[in-house]
Structure 1
Amino acid sequence: MIDSRTDPQAAALPPERAQAIARGEEPDLFAWLGPHPLPTGQAVVRAFVPGAKGVTLLERASCTPLGALQAAGEEGLFAIVLPAPVDYLLRIHWPGGDQDSEDPYRLLPMLDAGVLARFHQGDPQAALALGARLLRHGGVEGVRFAVWAPHARRVSVVGDFNSWDGRRHVLHRHPGGVWEIFVPQLAAGALYKFELLTADGRRLLKADPFARRAELPPGTASIVAASELAHQWHDAAWCAQRSAQPPWAAPISIYEAHAGAWRHLPGEPGTAMHWQALTETLVPYVHEMGFTHIELMPLAEYPFGGSWGYQPVALFALTQRYGSEEAFAAFVEACHAAGIGVLLDWVPGHFPGDAHGLHEFDGQPLFEYAHPFEGRHAEWDTWVYDYRRPEVRAFLIASALHWLRRFHLDGLRVDAVASMLYRDYGRAAGQWLPNHRGGVENLEAVSFLRRLNTAVHAQCPGALVIAEESTAWPGVTHGLAEGGLGFDFKWNMGWMHDTLRYMGRDSVHRSYHGTDITFGLSYAFSERFVLSVSHDEVVHGKGSLPQRMAGDPWQRFANLRLFLALMWTHPGKKLLFMGCEWGQWREWHHDRELDWALLEAPEHAGVQALVARLNRLYRSHPALHQGDAEAAGFQWLVADDRRNSVFAWLRWSHDHAPVLVVHNTTPAPMENYHVGVPLPGAWAVLLNTDQVEFGGSGYTVPATVMAEGRGCHGQPCSLSLRLPPLATLVLAPVTAADRGSLPAQPSGFAPRRST
C-alpha cells in the first residue's frame, strides 16, 4: 500500500481552482484532475466525485488496492501522491455501495488537429467526428463526446452515468471551440446531453446536434447510437443500377406519405403503424399502384407533432415514433426489392427554438444568423441557419450524406429552398438585410446548395436531390458550370397552382382562362420539373382535391380524373400525396389515418383505379416520360380552341413513337372532333378517363380510330374523335413495328447530359 499521506502539499490545488471545480466553473479539468507528474518524479492523481464517501486507487491489472485518496479541500475532491506514475482504476465508495470505474481524465483527448482544421474549413466528412462515437481508447471501450461550442466557458456531458451532474465530466476545449472527452465504459443506449456554461454565467442543457439517436418526445435527451446498423443489406444491385440512365429520361412517379398517418394499426385507432407493419402494407400498396418512388415526410427527430417533421431538432437522428433504425432499414430494403425508390424530405432551411435545440446553442447565435432580420423566420417562428459559417455548412451536408449512406436512401427532397435563397423571404419592407451587393439573394445559401449537390452527386452516385423551390430562381437544375444550383429536379409549383385554379372554375368560364393550362408549357423545359401535388395542397383550409374541383358531385370526380390525366400526360415527373390517389374528401390531418372506408364508394375506387392505370401507362410508354425535360418531346396540336375548351398535344419518344393526348374540359361530349396526327392508319385508345371502371359515364368511344388523309394542326393526317365529357383520351398508333414508317420527330430531341 502506498502511504497516501506522503507530501500532502504536492496533492493540493490552488484554493480558487478547487472552488471553481466544486462550483462547476472550471473550464479544463484535464489540467487538474487525473494523473499529473510532479517535479520530484512522483505523480499525483486527483478525482472529483461529488457525493462519494471516498475513493481508493486500484492497480489496473490485478485490481489490488494501492491506497486511499484523501479529501483535497472541497467536497468531492480527492487526491493521492504516488512514488511514480501507475496504470490505475478508481474504486468509488458511494453511500449505496462500491463502483470500480475508469478515470476519464487519465485518457487524453483524441481528436486529430487535422480533422478539427478540416471541420472549421467546412469539410462534412470531418464533421462526422463530432457527436457521440463508440471507440476504444487507452485499452478501454467507451464513448468519445465532441461538440462545437466556441462561445461557452465550460462544456460538460451529463447523463445517468454521472447523475446528470455537470461538474463531473467537463470536456477539453480545442482551439476553434470544439470540446471533447472520452467517457470509458459507456455503451450504446446511454442517455446524455451537454451542459454548457455560457459567457454570461447561464447553464444550458442541450441535446447533441450530431446525435444519431434521440429520445421520443416529450423526452429531449440524446442517445448514444451503435456505430453500425444491425442490418445486413442485400440491395447492392439496386444501388448500382440507380445511375445507369439519366433520371430525367426515366419514369418517376412519387407517392408522398406521412408514415404515421397513412394507416393506423387495425383495431387500434390512433396508433400509428411501425416500420414492420408499413413494410407489410405500404410497400405492396405502392407497388400495386405503380408508383416508382415513395417520398417520406421528414423523419429526423422533431418535438412537435403538428410540424409534421418540418421543425427538426436532431438532424442526424431517426425519429423513434415508428420504430428502430434497423426496422426502417428493413423497410427501405423491402422497397428496393419491390422496385421502389425511397426519397426523404430533408430540412436544411430552418430549425425551431426549443430550449434543448440549436437556438443560441452556446449562449449566443451559433447555428443561426445573429441578426433577427437574417436569423428569424417570423412566419414560422423558427431560426435560419447561418450558411456563412463553414462549420454550419459541414454540419448540414454531413446530415444529408448520413441519411443517404446509413439508410441507402435514393434521394432527398430539400424543403423550403426559396426561403433559403431570398433574404427578404417572408419579411416586410425594412425587416431584411441586403447582401453585400445590395440584392435580395442569399449568396451564402447559394454557395451552400451548390456544395450540397456536389457532395451528394460525388459520394452517393444515383441519389436524387430535388428542390422544393416555389419561385422563378434561374438554373435550379442547371449544372454548376452553367451557373446553376445543381439539383436533379425542382418542384413545379406554378403548374400546380395554375391547373388547380383552372379545374376549380365552372366549365362555362374555362374558355376565358385557357392560359392556366397553356402557360406552364412556356417554361416547362427551362428546368427539370416534378409536377407536385403535395400535402401542402390539402391542408389549412385549402380543401381536398375533390373539394377544389368545380361542379356537382359527379362533375367534381370527373374533373379530378381529368386533372390527374392532365398531370400524368404533361411533361414533368409526378408527385402525388397519399389519399389524393382516390380522392380523399376531407383535408389531411397528421393525427388521423386516411379514410380508407371511402374506397367502398365507386367514385373513389374509380379514381384509385385510374391512378394505377395512369402509372402503368406512364411507365410503359416512353413517349410519356423520356422527353419530360426536353422541348422536342412535346408538341402542341390544339392550344387555342376557346369555344370548346379542348387541348391536345403529342408526346414523343427517342425512337420517334408518338402518343396523342386530348382533353375535353367541358361536361359536353363532342362528336367528330378532328385532331391532326403524324401517321396514317389505326390509332388505339390507350386510356379513356370516362370509362365506367373509373367512375365515368361510359360514353362510347371506339377502341381504335382510323386516321383520315386530310391533315390539320400542321399534321398530314387527322382523327375524328368522340370526346367524352370532362375526360382525357390517350391514343397511339396501333403498329409501329416498321420504324421506317415513323415520322421525323421535332428537331433537337436528345437526352440531356448529366450535370
Structure 2
Amino acid sequence: MRYERTDLMIGTVQEGLQALVEGRHGDPFSILGRHQYGNLTVVRALLAGALSVEVVEADTGKVLAELETIHEGGLFAGVTGSTASYFFRIRWPDAVQEMEDPYSFPLLLGDLDLHLIGQGTHYDLGRTLGAIPMEVEGVEGVRFSVWAPNARRVSVVGDFNSWDGRRYPMRLRPQAGIWELFIPRLTHGERYKFEILDGNGNLLAQKADPVARSSEAAPSTASIVASSKPFRWNDEDWMRRQRADRAREGAMSIYEVHLGSWLRIAEEGNRHLDWVELSQRLIPYVQNLGFTHIEMLPIMEHPFGGSWGYQPLGLFAPTGRHGTPEDFAYFIDRCHAAGIGVILDWVPAHFPTDVWGLAKFDGTPLYEHADPREGFHGDWNTLIYNLGRNEVKGFLIASALEWLEHYHVDALRVDAVASMLYRDYSRNEGEWIPNQYGGRENLEAVEFFKHLNSIIHDRCPHAFTAAEESTAWPGVTKATEEGGLGFDFKWNMGWMHDTLHYMQDDPVYRKYQHGAMSFGMIYAYSERFILPLSHDEVVHGKGSLVAKMPGDHWQKLANLRAYYGFMWGHPGKKLMFMGGELAQEREWNHDGSVVWDLLDSPDHAGVQRLIRDLNTLYAQEPALQFGDLHHEGFEWAVADDAENSVYGMLRSSDDRSSHVLVASNLTPMPRHGYRIGVPAEGRWEVVLNTDAALYGGSNLGQTEAWTERAPAHGKAFSIQVVLPPLATVFLRWKG
C-alpha cells in the first residue's frame, strides 16, 4: 500500500515543518521520532545533508522502511508498520552512519529532579544537568540538559553534528524551564555547546554549558563531555582524619599558589605545568617546607588568564590549562597522600560578560540581576549573580559541593565576600538599591552564606570554609544557629594591612606607630582568623614583600625575616603567597614564574630555610597552636615599649604545660640583657632566631636564658634576653 506525502504528515501542519527545518520550532518531539496515528506508525527524522535514511529493527537488523524526503530542508518521514526498537542507517555523501533516533527516547529527568531544581535545593546538579554519559533503554549515549526557561528553542551542537543547531533541538520541561535530549552513541570527550533562540526568535551566540564538568582550555570555549566513571581514590584515611578534626585546632600553614606561574618550562615555550607534573614537583616542595595546605587561586575554567581565575565561567570544570578532570583528581589524591590539604578559591560573587558564557543566557538576565545597580560590578566589569533566584542559589551551592564531594577538596576560600554583603560596595550615591528595609546590607547574600555553610557542614564534615571579608561585618565565623554567617575562618585583612604598613616604615619612625603591630590582638578572638600575606599584596605596582622593607639589601632581608617570625608567633593560622618564602625581589607576574634562581644566593635560600623551620616549630609546639583560636593561650609580655620597638608575645598550651616567648626587636639596634617577665621558673631555650647565620643573619644571640626572681611586666620571674637587630627570637620553657 502506498502512502501519499500528506499521509506522512498526519497531525502536523506545513508551518510546523517549516519552523522545524529552520530551527525555530520549540517542540521537536511533537514532529520527530515515532508517532502513532490509529493503525499508522510514522517515523520522522531531521537530517539535513543526508542522502538517504533507513529505519532498521534493532533486534533483527531488518530494514523496516526507507524514509522519504518530505522537506528539502532535510526532513525525512516514512511508515514503518512496526513498534519495535529501531535505529537509523544514514548515508551521508562521505560515510554511512548508524545511530538510534534521539527522538525515540522517553522523558529523562524525573519530576523530583525538576522540582528540586526549581526550588534551588538540587545539590547534585553536576550529575543532573549538563552532559551526562549514561545508558538509556540499553543504549549508550549522553544526556544533555540545560536551564533556559525563556528560550524559544535550544539545541545541542558539536563536532558530532557539524555545529548545526537545526540537528538536535531539545525538549522543554516547562515546569522547571529545563531542556533535555539524549543523543545516542556519543561518549565522553566530545566537544559541545548549546544553541539558543531567545523568546523573540533571535539567535544568540552559542553558549558553553553552565554545568559542564570539563571544558576546552582558553582561548577555546567549548564544553567537553566529561566521563562519568568514578575516580579511584586512595585517601580514605586522610578523609577520616579530616572529619575527626573539624575544630581545626592544630597548626595550619597555607601555601597560596597560582598554578600557571609557579613554575614555567622556559625550554618549551614558557609553558606551565600540568596536573601530573604539579603532583611531582609542587607537592614535594610544599611538603618539604612544612606547609599543611596548598591554596590555589581559582582553577575553575575561566576565559581570561589575566583575571588569575577570579572571573570564572565554568564553576563545575577544572580548567583545561593543566589537563583533564581525572588528572585534577589525581593531584588532589597525591596531596592527601603527602599529608597536605587542598583549599580552592571559589568565586560566587560575579562572572564575566563573555557572550558565550552566562550573560543573558537565554536572552534574558537569567543568572544576573537585570538592573545594573544590583547586577553590574564597575570595578571588575562583571555581572553579579542574582541570589534572589532559587535556581541561581542552587547552582552556586551545587558548584561548591562539586569540589568538596566529587573532588575531595578540603576547603573553599570564598572570594569577595564583602562585595556580596553590601549593596553599596564600591558604589556612589544613586548607584545602588537599598534593601527592603532601606539598608545597605544585602539580605539575600546573608541568607545565601548561611545556607551555603550549613549545607557544607552537613554534607561535607571533612571540609571547612574561609571568607575573604575585609570589613567589620559581625559574626562571619559565628555559627549560623547563633546568627552568624557560618564560615570556619576569615582572612584578617586588617592585620595584614596594619603590619605591612608598619614594616614599610623606616625603623627610626616605627615608634610613632607602635600600636599598628599590636592592634590586631584587640579583636583577634572576635573571629577565627587566618593571617594572610596574599597575592593581592605583591601585584599592581605594590612590589614584592621584600621590596616593601626599608634599608639596604641586608636590612631588607632582616626586616622580612623578623616580620615572618612575628607572624608565626602571632595568633592566627598562616598564609603565604608563593615567592614570599624565598624573598622574591620583583612583584608577581602571572605570565612569568617564581624566580627560582634566587635560591643560588645563600641569603635568599636562608629565608626559605627560615620558613621551613617556622613551619616545623609551629607544627611541633602546642603552645604556638592553642592561642590561634583561644584567648587563654596568648598574652602580651611586652606591648608598650614603643621607644625600642620591641614586642613580646607569650604563647601557652591549653594545659599550661608548655610556654613559648616570642620577642621581636624591630630596630637595627641590638638589645643586650633585655628583661622580660615570664610565667614559669627555670630554663628558657632559644629554639629559633631569625638572625641566625643559617638564615642570612648576623648570628647574634644566645642559646638559653634562666629565670631570675626579678619581677617584670607583672610577673614574679623574668629572663634577660639578647635581642638581635631586626630579628624575632623564640624561647621555649624547658622547666
TM superposition score category, shorter chain reference: over 0.9
CA contact (8 A) 1:160 1:191 kept: yes
| Pairs within 5 Å for 1:357-376 | 357-376=357-376
| Pairs within 5 Å for 1:234-633 | 234-265=234-265, 267-268=267-268, 270-633=270-633
Instruction: Give the equivalent residue in structure 1 for 2:207.
Output: 206
Instruction: Give the equivalent residue in structure 2 for 1:19.
Output: 18
Deviation at 1:84, TM superposition (A): 4.7
- Tell which deviates more after alignment, 393-402 or 261-270: 261-270
| Pairs within 5 Å for 1:689-708 | 689-699=690-700, 701-708=701-708
Structure-2 separation of matches of 1:595 and 1:247: 37
Instruction: Give the equivalent residue in structure 1 for 2:108.
Output: 110
Structure-1 separation of matches of 2:31 and 2:348: 41
Instruction: Give the equivalent residue in structure 1 for 2:53.
Output: 55
Aligned residue identity for 2:250: A
Structure-1 separation of matches of 2:6 and 2:332: 64
CA contact (8 A) 2:682 2:733 kept: yes
Structure-1 separation of matches of 2:612 and 2:452: 35
CA contact (8 A) 1:187 1:224 kept: yes
Residues 14-69 of structure 1: CA deviation (Å, up to 9, x unaligned) = 1110111111100010011111110x322211111111122222222222222221
Moved over 6 A (4+): none
Alignment partner of 2:271: what SS? coil
Structure-2 separation of matches of 1:457 and 1:663: 39
CA contact (8 A) 1:679 1:733 kept: yes
Structure-1 separation of matches of 2:215 and 2:473: 36
1:159 aligned onto 2:169 = no
Alignment partner of 1:466: what SS? strand
Deviation at 1:86, TM superposition (A): 3.5
Deviation at 1:245, TM superposition (A): 2.9
CA contact (8 A) 1:423 1:433 kept: yes
- Tell which deviates more after alignment, 136-145 or 500-509: 136-145
Instruction: Give the equivalent residue in structure 2 for 1:150.
Output: 149
CA contact (8 A) 2:40 2:81 kept: yes
CA contact (8 A) 1:116 1:126 kept: no
Deviation at 1:391, TM superposition (A): 0.7
Residues 484-516 of structure 1: CA deviation (Å, up to 9, x unaligned) = 011110000000000000000111111110111
Residues 463-497 of structure 1: CA deviation (Å, up to 9, x unaligned) = 11111111111101000111101111000000000
Alignment partner of 1:732: what SS? strand
Aligned residue identity for 1:172: R
Deviation at 1:698, TM superposition (A): 1.4
Give the direction of change, closer, same or farther, for the CA distance of 1:261–1:7 in structure 2 (3 Å limit): closer
Deviation at 1:12, TM superposition (A): 7.2
Structure-2 separation of matches of 1:67 and 1:124: 43
Aligned residue identity for 2:208: A
Identity of aligned residues (%): 51
Structure-1 separation of matches of 2:587 and 2:650: 35
Aligned residue identity for 2:537: E
Alignment partner of 1:730: what SS? strand
Structure-2 separation of matches of 1:660 and 1:392: 50
Instruction: Give the equivalent residue in structure 2 for 1:709.
Output: 709
Deviation at 1:283, TM superposition (A): 1.0
Q: Normalising by structure 2, report the TM-score.
A: 0.97
Among candidates 68, 74, 77, match of residue 75 of structure 2: 77
Alignment partner of 1:721: what SS? strand
- Tell which deviates more after alignment, 193-202 or 64-73: 64-73
CA contact (8 A) 2:5 2:70 kept: no
Structure-2 separation of matches of 1:711 and 1:52: 97
CA contact (8 A) 1:7 1:81 kept: no
Deviation at 1:5, TM superposition (A): 5.0
Structure-2 separation of matches of 1:312 and 1:188: 23
Structure-2 separation of matches of 1:302 and 1:336: 26
Deviation at 1:74, TM superposition (A): 4.2
Instruction: Give the equivalent residue in structure 2 for 1:750.
Output: none
Aligned residue identity for 1:446: V
Residues 608-631 of structure 1: CA deviation (Å, up to 9, x unaligned) = 111111101111111111220111
Alignment partner of 2:264: what SS? coil
CA contact (8 A) 1:274 1:322 kept: yes
Give the direction of change, closer, same or farther, for the CA distance of 1:606–1:9 in structure 2 (3 Å limit): closer
Alignment partner of 2:697: what SS? coil
- Tell which deviates more after alignment, 50-59 or 508-517: 50-59
Structure-1 separation of matches of 2:364 and 2:238: 45
Instruction: Give the equivalent residue in structure 1 for 2:639.
Output: 639
Instruction: Give the equivalent residue in structure 2 for 1:139.
Output: 138
Give the direction of change, closer, same or farther, for the CA distance of 1:150–1:62 in structure 2 (3 Å limit): same
Structure-2 separation of matches of 1:632 and 1:10: 82
Structure-1 separation of matches of 2:686 and 2:578: 29
Give the direction of change, closer, same or farther, for the CA distance of 1:63–1:5 in structure 2 (3 Å limit): farther
Structure-2 separation of matches of 1:70 and 1:652: 86
Instruction: Give the equivalent residue in structure 2 for 1:216.
Output: 217
Deviation at 1:663, TM superposition (A): 0.8
Aligned residue identity for 1:691: A
CA contact (8 A) 2:570 2:649 kept: no
CA contact (8 A) 1:4 1:67 kept: no
Instruction: Give the equivalent residue in structure 2 for 1:179.
Output: 179
Instruction: Give the equivalent residue in structure 1 for 2:120.
Output: 122
Residues 648-696 of structure 1: CA deviation (Å, up to 9, x unaligned) = 1211111202111111111101122110011122111111111111111
CA contact (8 A) 1:124 1:398 kept: yes
Structure-2 separation of matches of 1:267 and 1:195: 41
Instruction: Give the equivalent residue in structure 2 for 1:673.
Output: 674
CA contact (8 A) 1:145 1:157 kept: yes
Alignment partner of 1:242: what SS? helix
CA contact (8 A) 2:44 2:75 kept: yes
CA contact (8 A) 2:64 2:80 kept: no
Aligned residue identity for 2:330: A
Deviation at 1:202, TM superposition (A): 1.8
Alignment partner of 2:35: what SS? strand
Give the direction of change, closer, same or farther, for the CA distance of 1:269–1:507 in structure 2 (3 Å limit): farther
CA contact (8 A) 2:417 2:468 kept: yes
CA contact (8 A) 2:246 2:461 kept: no
Structure-1 separation of matches of 2:442 and 2:692: 51
Give the direction of change, closer, same or farther, for the CA distance of 1:125–1:4 in structure 2 (3 Å limit): farther
Deviation at 1:143, TM superposition (A): 0.8
CA contact (8 A) 1:256 1:576 kept: yes
Aligned residue identity for 1:26: H
Structure-2 separation of matches of 1:66 and 1:81: 8
Kindly report the root-mean-square deviation, in angstroms, between the aligned alpha carbons of the 2 structures: 1.5
Q: Normalising by structure 1, report the TM-score.
A: 0.95
| Gaps in structure 2 of 5+ consecutive residues | none
| Gaps in structure 1 of 5+ consecutive residues | 736-755
Structure-2 separation of matches of 1:189 and 1:84: 35
Deviation at 1:193, TM superposition (A): 0.5
Residues 366-408 of structure 1: CA deviation (Å, up to 9, x unaligned) = 1111110111101101111111111111111111111112221
Structure-2 separation of matches of 1:329 and 1:97: 38
- Tell which deviates more after alignment, 12-21 or 621-630: 12-21
Structure-2 separation of matches of 1:75 and 1:460: 52
Aligned residue identity for 1:193: K
Instruction: Give the equivalent residue in structure 2 for 1:660.
Output: 661
CA contact (8 A) 1:368 1:383 kept: yes
Aligned residue identity for 2:144: F
CA contact (8 A) 2:155 2:168 kept: yes
Structure-1 separation of matches of 2:573 and 2:6: 79
